[in-house]
Structure 1
Amino acid sequence: MLLACLWACPGPDAWAGAPGASQERFAAIVIDAQTGETLYARHADARRYPASLTKVMTLFLAFDALEAGRAKRTDRIIISPRAAAKPPSRLGLAAGSSLTLQEAMDVLVVKSANDVATAMAEHLGGDEAAFARAMNAKARRLGLAHTQFRNASGLPDSQHYSTARDLARLGRAFLKEHPGDYAIFGQQQTLFRGRVIKGHNRLLAEPGIDGFKTGFINASGYNLLTSGLRDGRRVIAVVLGGRSARTRDAFMDRLIQASFSSLAIRSAGFEVAVSDLLAPSPVKPSDSAPIMLAAAEAAPSAGIAQVRPVSAPASVDGGAATPPPRQWWIQVGAFRSKSTSLARLEAVSQRHPRQFGRRASDVTRTGALFAARFSARSAKGASAACAVLTAEGEDCLVLLE
Structure 2
Amino acid sequence: MTAVDDAPARPAPTNRWQRTVGPLRERDFALLWFGELVSSFGGPFQGIAIAFFLIHQGLGPFVFALVIAVFSVSRTVGGFVAGPLLDRYPRVNFLLCANVVAFGASGSVLLLTLTGQGIWLLVPLLAVQAMTAGAYLTAMSSIAPSVLPPEKLASGNALIQMLSQLPAVVAAPAAGIVASAAGEGTAIGINVVSYAFAVAAGFAVYRRRRAGGVPQASGRASFRETLRDGLAGLRFASGEPWLRLLLVVEMVGSAAAAGAMVIALPFYADKLGGSQAYGFLVAGFGAGSIVGMLWFGGLARRTGRRALLICALLLSQGVLLAMLGLLPSGPGVVDLALVGAANGISNVAFAGLVQTVIDDRFLGRVFALEAVATSVLAPVGHLSAGALIATWGSTVALGIAGLAMAATAAVGMAARSVRSIDAQ
**Normalized against structure 2, the TM-score is what?**
0.22
The structure that has the greater radius of gyration is 1
Select the structure that is richer in helix: 2
**Normalized against structure 1, the TM-score is what?**
0.23
Select the structure that is richer in strand: 1
Q: Tell me which of the two structures has the higher relative contact order, counting C-alpha pairs closer than 8 angstroms and 6 or more residues apart.
A: 2
